[in-house]
């Protein structure tokens, strides 16, 4: 399917050499790996650009409705391989580079990861952009061009140390600066009423400058734009007064201040509310995007009433929630529409996606900060609240509360559709945080279960499996993932299953070799690869996983000859720099890993490895090599998960709770091909009401008691025995996330996993069934759902 012709490879070789000479100014004899990577990127970019222009032209000609995806985060990772894969030029590039005596894998890996996101929400946005292009939807992604993406993580003596990420210090070929797309934005100042109209006069200004990156869909049939905003000083030159007064350094201060807005991604995905700079970032990118959207609308249409028919703006969580009041301000204050009509039009345009029910992650801003930065918006929010009260006199919910602005409520009230990201999560939205608003607006909440793009998360990261699938059922699955079910009859064919098994083994061997080379750890590729990779959070319960590893280690030591199933527990993930408990869990895992891996009695059967600096590229390496996917959050807490889908698609079995999209994954792959454990969301709520629930669980499970003791007594930190006492006390005490209460069932499920893994034939059949039945979790399916239920927009290919 992906075989290139000799002519393709020749043309590619010429294009690379052309760009090496004329874009990089190098000859082959003196080119560095970076030069080769840039030359190849330019060659691919040329191909993308033609398609990109064609798509833009078609969108204008059709005067089609456009979808705008507003997101603080786009975790896109590397783009070169993505482009090569979607244009089906990977083989040609490999051949060409090899002929030029370059190592293709090394050239591709030279590209820095664009880590402009924290985790699931940002990666989802990236998958959505790719699917929007694959489906040919006229769409733009809008976000911030952070100079520093998510911090880089290192371990020093097992502890997480953060260093700044500097992706923009290396060149890449993907963005085009748009000098013509610049907007001046204001902060602060005052509001005056002139001729019956409110006029906001800000006292601080900054310019948003656009940088465009093309995002090409499968087979290059369509390409959309990711437009990222960079903050620049409103007055590019120095403050001449200070300069002339001799204050040379002081004269640069306004510039530095303006640029600060797009300097760095906030690395906390829960509790950053209250930071002035964060609100500035939110308003900065939202307002710039809306101005851009309105400029485009005005250039195409002259009837403002058409707005909801031509424009759909999706708010990726509440981070762009200021879009509601800002759009009302544009329509009412600037365009002079009546206030109520402005609200109705804005609502017709806006959709809001909720990604978390964690109370600490629901954004609230202090009135004080809001008033200082956005005085006019605060007035507008009050009027929106009043209008809502008038329309629903019996309402018991408000956007404003004394001293605060609640962004979730604001987003809900200003959107015509509000969606959750898995069936369970959407149900919980209706019964918990948005219960009252759902009562008032019973048709507003809809579910759109997340998905992932199979181009990156199978074709690109697991090429051998992709090839087997294509050889078996043709390549239609790449744009219609549910066709993977056509694999099912083959699973009972021993020869086919042998091929499937050989691919998993080869992926594991490759990962093992990489871990040995990069991290100096030796693992047996025949052992079970048990993987938990995601942000560190108490609700995700990495500490449940390590506690089980500790208990297992103790049990193997007691009885080394009991026929244990060899297992490699692999962890990766970052903790927010200020989240001390999460950072201590990382340190505990690293400390326990040293003790366990060094134990000659047990290390044939159990090893624990925490790989540093988890990012998209590491995920692409780990997921194809996984046997077991750990999805063990406290039920009710993980909105969806998307890693869980990537694992299942790539033939890993899940051990998981009934949380987020795990529920739907289990339904699709079949309960017999999924290791379920733990309490349901309802049982979790009931369990929390029991006094001493952790103590009770510990009293009935000596294994659990012993593992907690080892954490408490310094087994893994002999030089500082008390180091993890607080973790032990947490698990044995308040235990809000119910680690102790779920432990016994988790242990049981893990032993069922061990038993299943010993029957490799049966295990591989189950793994293959996971692949065959995961097609529903394509982000193409998700985007079709949004098109139908939220955006009412069409595809143009
Ligand atoms: C205020 C700072 C902040 C930043 C990010 C608060 C909350 C967030 C996000 C909501 C965190 C996030 O990434 N949520 C994840 O979204 C994924 C995509 O829908 C889901 O699959 C994950 O379950 C959810 O945790």
- Please spell the DSSP secondary structure of 376-387, one letter per residue: HHHHHHHHHHHH
Assigned fold of 461-777:
Rossmann fold (3.40.50)
The pLDDT assigned to 2 comes to 47
Rg (CA), the chain: 27
Q: Looking at residue 323, what is its pLDDT?
A: 98
Q: Two tokens at 515?
A: 């871990």
Distance 451 CA to ligand 1 centre (A): 14
Nearest to 1 by CA among 384, 320, 466: 466
Nearest CA to ligand 1 atom 21: 641
Q: Which residues contact 105 (CB under 8 A, 6 or more apart)?
A: none
Joined tokens for residue 170: 């290396």
Give domain limits for the chain: 1-62+90-112, 65-77+115-148+179-450, 461-777
The pTM assigned to this predicted structure is: 0.97
Question: What pLDDT, on the 0 to 100 scale, is given for residue 4?
Answer: 65
Which residue is catalytic, options 388, 504, 508, 534?
Answer: 534
Nearest partner of 565 among 742, 744, 750, 707, judged by Cα: 750
Q: Are 353 and 419 in contact (CB under 8 A)?
A: yes
- Which stretches of the chain drop beneath a pLDDT of 50? 1-2
- Decide whether any atom of ligand 1 lies within 6 Å of the 774 Cβ: no
> For residues 182 and 288, what is the distance between their CA atoms, to the nearest angstrom?
8
Residue pair 39/20 in contact (Cβ under 8 Å)? The answer is yes
pLDDT digits (tens, 9 = 90+) for 413-429: 999 999 999 999 999 99
Note the pLDDT of residue 256: 85
Asked about 182 being catalytic, the answer comes back as: no
Any idea which fold 65-77+115-148+179-450 has?
Rossmann fold (3.40.50)
Q: Is residue 267 within 6 Å of ligand 1 at its C-beta? A: no
pLDDT, residue 274, reads 62
pLDDT on residue 377: 98
Is-catalytic flag, 371? no
58 is catalytic: no
The per-residue pLDDT for 239 is 63
Per-residue pLDDT of 606-623, as tens digits, reads 999 999 999 999 999 999
Domains 65-77+115-148+179-450 and 461-777 share a fold: yes
Q: Whose CA is nearest to atom 3 of ligand 1?
A: 269
Share of the chain above pLDDT 90, in %: 94
What spacing in Å lies between the alpha carbon of 516 and ligand 1's midpoint?
33
Distance CA(624)–CA(604), nearest Å, equals: 23
Maximum CA extent, the chain: 88
| Listed residue (567, 564, 563, 500) closest to 529, CA to CA | 567
Distance between CA 376 and CA 399 in Å, rounded? 16
Do residues 728 and 708 make contact, with C-beta atoms less than 8 angstroms apart? Answer: yes
State the pLDDT at residue 273.
56
Buried b (16+ CB within 10 A) or exposed e, 749-768: bbeebbebbeeeeebbbbbb
571: left (phi over 0), alpha (psi -120 to 50) or beta: beta
**Model pLDDT, residue 242:** 66
Q: Is 355 a catalytic residue?
A: yes
Q: Is 30 a catalytic residue?
A: no
């Amino acid at each position: 399917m992906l075989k290139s012709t000799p002519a393709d490879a020749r043309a590619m070789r010429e294009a690379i050499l052309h760009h090496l000479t004329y874009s990089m100014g190098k000859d082959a004899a003196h080119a560095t790996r970076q030069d080769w990577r840039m030359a190849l990127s330019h060659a691919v970019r040329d191909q993308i650009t033609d398609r990109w222009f064609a798509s833009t032209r078609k969108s204008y000609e059709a005067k089609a409705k456009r979808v705008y995806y507003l997101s603080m985060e786009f975790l896109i990772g590397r783009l070169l391989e993505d482009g090569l894969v979607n244009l089906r030029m990977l083989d040609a590039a490999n051949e060409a580079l090899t002929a030029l005596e370059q190592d293709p894998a090394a050239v591709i890996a030279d590209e820095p990861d664009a880590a402009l996101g924290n985790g699931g929400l940002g990666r989802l946005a990236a998958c959505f952009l790719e699917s929007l292009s694959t489906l040919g939807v006229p769409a733009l992604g809008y976000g911030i061009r952070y100079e520093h993406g998510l911090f880089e993580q290192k371990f020093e003596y097992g502890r997480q140390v953060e260093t700044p990420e500097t992706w923009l210090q290396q060149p890449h070929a993907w963005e085009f600066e748009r000098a013509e797309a610049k907007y001046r934005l204001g902060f602060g100042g005052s509001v005056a009423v002139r001729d019956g109209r409110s006029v906001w006069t800000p006292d601080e200004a900054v310019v948003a400058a656009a940088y465009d990156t093309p995002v090409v869909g499968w087979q290059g049939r369509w390409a959309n734009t990711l437009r990222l905003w960079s903050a620049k000083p409103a007055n590019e030159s120095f403050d001449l007064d200070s300069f002339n007064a001799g204050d040379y350094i002081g004269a640069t201060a306004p510039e530095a201040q303006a640029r600060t807005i797009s300097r760095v991604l906030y690395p906390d995905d829960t509790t950053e509310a209250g930071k002035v700079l964060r609100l500035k970032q939110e308003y900065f990118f939202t307002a710039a995007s809306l101005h851009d959207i309105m400029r485009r609308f005005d250039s195409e249409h002259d009837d403002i009433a058409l707005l909801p028919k031509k424009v759909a703006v999706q708010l990726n969580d509440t981070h762009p929630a200021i879009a509601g009041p800002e759009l009302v301000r544009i329509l009412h204050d600037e365009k002079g529409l009546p206030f109520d009509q402005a609200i109705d039009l804005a609502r017709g345009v806006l959709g809001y996606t909720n990604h978390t029910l964690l109370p600490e992650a629901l954004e609230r801003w202090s009135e004080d900060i809001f008033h200082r930065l956005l005085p006019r918006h605060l007035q507008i929010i009050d009027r929106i609240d009043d209008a809502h009260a008038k329309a629903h006199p019996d309402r018991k919910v408000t956007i404003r509360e004394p001293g605060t602005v609640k962004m979730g409520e604001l987003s809900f009230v200003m959107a015509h559709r509000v969606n959750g990201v898995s069936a369970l999560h959407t149900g919980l939205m209706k019964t918990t945080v948005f219960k009252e608003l759902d009562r008032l607006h019973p048709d507003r909440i809809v579910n759109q279960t997340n998905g992932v793009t199979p181009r990156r998360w199978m074709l690109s990261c697991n090429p051998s499996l992709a090839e087997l699938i294509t050889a078996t059922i043709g390549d239609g699955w790449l744009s219609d993932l549910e066709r993977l079910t056509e694999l099912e009859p083959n699973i009972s064919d021993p020869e086919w299953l042998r091929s499937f098994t050989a691919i998993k083994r080869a992926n594991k061997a490759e990962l093992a070799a990489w871990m040995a080379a990069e991290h100096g750890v030796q693992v047996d590729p025949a052992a079970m690869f048990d993987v938990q990779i995601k942000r560190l959070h108490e609700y995700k319960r990495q500490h449940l996983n390590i506690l089980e590893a500790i208990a297992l280690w103790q049990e193997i030591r007691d009885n080394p000859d009991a026929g244990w199933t060899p297992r490699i527990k692999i962890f990766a993930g970052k903790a927010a720099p200020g989240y001390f408990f999460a950072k201590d869990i990382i340190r505990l895992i690293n400390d326990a890993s040293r003790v366990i891996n060094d134990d000659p009695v047990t290390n044939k059967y159990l090893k624990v490895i925490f790989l540093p600096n988890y990012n998209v590229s590491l995920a692409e390496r780990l997921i194809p090599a996984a046997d077991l996917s750990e999805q063990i959050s406290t039920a009710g807490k993980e909105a969806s998960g998307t890693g869980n889908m990537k694992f299942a698609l790539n033939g890993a079995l899940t051990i998981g709770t009934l949380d987020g999209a795990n529920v739907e994954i289990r339904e699709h792959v079949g309960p017999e091909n999924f290791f379920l454990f733990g309490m349901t969301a309802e049982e979790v709520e009931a369990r929390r009401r029991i006094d001493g629930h952790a103590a009770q669980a510990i009293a009935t499970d000596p294994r659990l008691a012993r593992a907690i003791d080892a954490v408490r007594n310094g087994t893994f930190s002999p030089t500082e025995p008390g180091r993890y006492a607080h973790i032990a006390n947490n698990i044995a005490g308040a235990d809000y996330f119910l680690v102790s209460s779920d432990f016994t069932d988790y242990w049981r499920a893990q032993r069922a996993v061990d038993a299943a893994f010993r029957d490799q034939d049966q295990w591989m059949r189950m793994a293959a069934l996971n692949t065959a039945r995961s097609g529903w979790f394509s982000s193409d399916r998700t985007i079709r759902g949004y098109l139908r239920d939220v955006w009412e927009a069409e595809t143009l290919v």
